[in-house]
Structure 1
Amino acid sequence: MAKRPGGKSILANFGAFSQSEAGASESKNHSPPSAQPLARVGAGVIGATQRSLAELREERDNLRALVDAGGGTELDPKLIDPSPFPDRLPDDSDADFEALKKLILEEGQKVPIQVRRHPGSEGRYQVVYGHRRWRAAAELGIRVKATILSLSDSELVVAQGIENAARQDLSWIERALFAWRMDAAGIKARDIRAALSIDDPELARLRSVCRALPVGVIEKIGRAPKIGRPRWIALATAVSEDQSALTRVQKTLSDDKVLSLPSDERFKRALAAVRKDPPRSRSEKEIKGPAGKVVGKATFSGGDIKLSIATEYAAAFGGFLEEELPVLMDRFFAREGEV
């Protein structure tokens, strides 16, 4: 992408502050920012992603010094809209947000959010990052300190991606949804890869899950921070291979009791729904020795499993099973994707 005249690198425009840095700055007693607004600045984002980490950090520190010196302006939160590319699902608990809101109420907002002028609505803005501070200001009924940037859609998503990489707390499915929404908006694959710092194979995996699972299903499950790629892919694969599986997942997620569970547990219920075997009252399986001789049987009835072994092998097999059971359970949970 051609660099605009006078354009600056991405961190010189929006500053990739990490969550911890932003939080620490909220709690320091800086002097209130002056009313003098920062001039709007341009952005040459994609080229900036090739810059060295040292250069990016230096530019971030330069912006921080400008902010600490009183840069920024104040906006009515009602004039601000969220990013057109959501990268967050609701948390299971609002405790952290309530703590942030209390801190801003008591000590004021120290670090400005980053916004761009709304490309389709005169006089409005869109958040680049700082959604939680914007929401806190809106709920407190106060103006929000902001730095106004000039960013295209591609530049905005890369900006969000760098900020998320600094925090490193997006769950795998949030990354998948972020990529999916960028795809839907026509963002080029190279810009999606830059925003998420991923390669082509990982982008393909993110896309495959969102193709198989409706966004509504993913949103009902939620962030599921402890659920990684293997189990999400397992769920998506099961739905793709069995048309009735999606119906079972949707039915499971329509249960208010399930929806009241933490998001990791909601995912487990959804995965259990697609793996559910057809109802059976009772089944038996013969257990054979190496020569094909039947030496026992296994009986499965609901949640009950019963092994019957010929008397001549019973004692030895019982000892063997007792020794091997921990290994067998480890293999089971590894297959289920649990640790």
Structure 2
Amino acid sequence: MSKSSRKSIVASFGLLSAELESKLATDDQTAAPVPPSGARVGAGVIGAAHRAIDDIRSERDQLRALLESGGGVVRELDTSFIDPSPFPDRLPDDDATDFEAFKRSIETEGQKVPVQVRKHPTSPGRYQIVYGHRRWLAAKQLGVPVRALEVEISDLDLVLAQGIENASRQDLTWIERALFASRMDDAGIKPRHIYAALSIEDAELARMRSVYRTLPADIIEAIGRAPKIGRPRWLDLAKAVAADPNSLASIRTALNRGDQGAETSDQRFQRILNAIKPSAKAEVQPTSISDGSGTRLGALVSSPREVRISAEGPLGTDFLKFIEAELPVLAERFVRQRGH
């Protein structure tokens, strides 16, 4: 097979691989789900592939034929010579049960679909994962070689391949996607390619940036994937930190103090948010305003920079009108007192 045809196949590698695995796999252990026909795939992803759908199908068939025929393409590699993708997109799970079951299935049934690797761009003799991190990690922990298909692929195409794969996965959390965007940002990947890899618009990337440029990666990773914590609460946490940068020290202290083993990442997130942003229950409660006979007229809530009075009871509205009318007189009294 010529070098140029290999590159042609790899250009749409993530999509081809997902389709191929769905054909070859006989159980969940090997197959990456293919996006349903109604799923939205961003125009940028398709544009980045630079191919019509007929070309993609043709290349999928070529890749499948290549795998089925062997031809020295798929081989066993020592897992110690393989590094993860430079753009990791997963945080550790709170519960390792699913991965342990996945690993046992490979141990008993074997690895049916190869991982995809490329030569490491800076370390001769080593490889980087393009696709199949869980299979590689399972083989590594089992102490067995991993079956791998070596491909030629650039950083940009690797990012797009991962992004297309991730578009079909329902379990990636919002913060994991934001971290993926952060690592692409750090690597100098252009925003239009980040949009394509994640199938997002510029407004969503701006929201992600507001989080990962405020919250350091070590804090996000220490909190974890937090599957029940969506975008609004991550934005809330970032906003609280932006208002008080010194709170980062408090967050790190709280993370070190917590019981990481007994606490889920969702619980850890909420504890951290509560530590720097006290809940409404901790706020000053309203003070009741009553007349001499005990009739409630209103409620007062005050802070160093604000006073609010709300009407209560049948006379509450009239009471507020009275206060409003008296404000000029109170202002004059205040000025006279200040003058003494």
Normalised to the residue count of structure 2, the TM-score between the two structures is 0.72
Contact 2:25 2:113 in 1 (8 A): no
The SS at the match of 2:266 is helix
Shift of the 219–276 alpha-carbon distance from structure 1 to 2, 3 Å rule, reads: same
Equivalent position SS for 1:135: helix
Which amino acid in structure 2 is aligned with residue 267 of structure 1?
Answer: F
| Separation (CA, whole Å) in 2 of partners of 1:136 and 1:98 | 8
The amino acid that maps onto 2:229 is I
Task: Tell me the equivalent position of 1:202.
Answer: 204
How many Å separate the matches in 1 of 2:18 and 2:29?
A: 15
Distance 2:225 2:189 in 1: 23
Q: Deviations over 1:172-215 (max 9, x none)?
A: 10111111111111122222121111111111111110011011
Post-superposition Cα deviations, 1:127-162, rounded to whole Å, max 9, x if no partner, equal: 011111101111111111111111111111111111
Q: State whether residues 195 and 205 of structure 2, in contact with CA within 8 Å, keep that contact through their aligned partners in structure 1.
A: yes
User: Is the Cα–Cα contact under 8 Å of residues 74 and 146 in structure 1 kept in the other structure?
Assistant: yes
Q: Once the 2 structures are TM-superposed, how far is the Cα of residue 243 of structure 1 from its aligned partner? A: 2.7
* Candidates 149, 154, 170, aligned match of 2:156: 154
Shift of 1:21: 3.7
CA 1:151–1:244: 2 relative to 1, 3 Å: same
Secondary structure in structure 2 of the residue aligned to 1:87: coil
Quote the residue 1:63 is aligned against: 63
Superposed counterparts of 1:215-234, under 5 Å:
215-234=217-236
Q: For 1:241 and 1:201, locate their aligned partners in 2 and report how far apart those are by CA, in whole Å.
A: 22
Alignment partner of 1:134 is 2:136:
yes
The runs of 5 or more residues in structure 2 that have no matched partner are 31-44, 302-310, 316-340
| 1:235 is the counterpart of 2:230 | no
Partner of 2:79: 77
Q: Which residue of 2 aligns with 1:86?
A: 88
Shift of 1:262: 0.9
Q: Distance in 2 between matches of 1:310 and 1:163?
A: 58
CA spacing shift, 1:232–1:278, aligned 2, 3 Å: closer
Note the 1:1-339 alignment, pairs <5 A. Answer: 5-6=4-5, 7-10=7-10, 13=13, 15-17=16-18, 21=22, 24-25=25-26, 48-51=48-51, 56=56, 59-60=59-60, 62-70=62-70, 72-257=74-259, 260-276=262-278, 284-286=286-288, 294-295=296-297
Secondary structure at 1:86 match in 2 = coil
State the alpha-carbon separation in 2 of the partners of residues 297 and 172 from structure 1: 41
Give the RMSD, CA atoms, in angstroms.
Answer: 3.7
TM-superposed deviation, 1:11: 6.4
Give the Cα–Cα distance (whole angstroms) in 1 for the partners of residues 283 and 273 of structure 2.
Answer: 22
Distance change (3 Å), C-alpha of 1:91 and 1:144: same
- Cα deviation for residue 60 of structure 1 reads 3.9
How much has 1:297 moved relative to structure 2? 5.2
- TM-score if structure 1 supplies the norm length? 0.72
Tell me the equivalent position of 2:40. Answer: none
Mind listing any 5+ residue stretches in structure 1 that lack a counterpart? Answer: 30-44, 300-308, 314-339
In 2, distance between residues paired with 1:152 and 1:17? Answer: 19
Q: Which has the larger radius of gyration?
A: 2
Displacement of 1:66 in angstroms is: 3.9
Report the AA paired with residue 8 of structure 2. Answer: K
Distance 2:282 2:300 in 1: 15
Compute the displacement of 1:225 (Å).
1.3
Equivalent AA in structure 1 for residue 251 of structure 2: V
Letter in 2 for 1:104: I
- SS of match in other structure, 1:227: coil
**Take 1:117 and 1:244, find their aligned partners in 2: how far apart are those partners?**
43
Aligned to 1:41: none
Amino acid at match of 2:17: A
**Residue 297 of structure 2 aligns to a residue in which SS?**
strand
Per the alignment, in what secondary structure is the counterpart of residue 86 of structure 2?
A: coil
CA shift digits 1:80-124 (9 cap, x unpaired) = 011111111000111111111111111110000010000111111
User: Per-residue deviation at 1:259?
Assistant: 6.0
SS at structure 2 position matched to 1:133: helix
Matched AA of 1:121: S
Q: Is the 8 A contact 1:115 1:146 kept in 2?
A: yes
Residue in structure 1 matched with residue 337 of structure 2 by the alignment = none
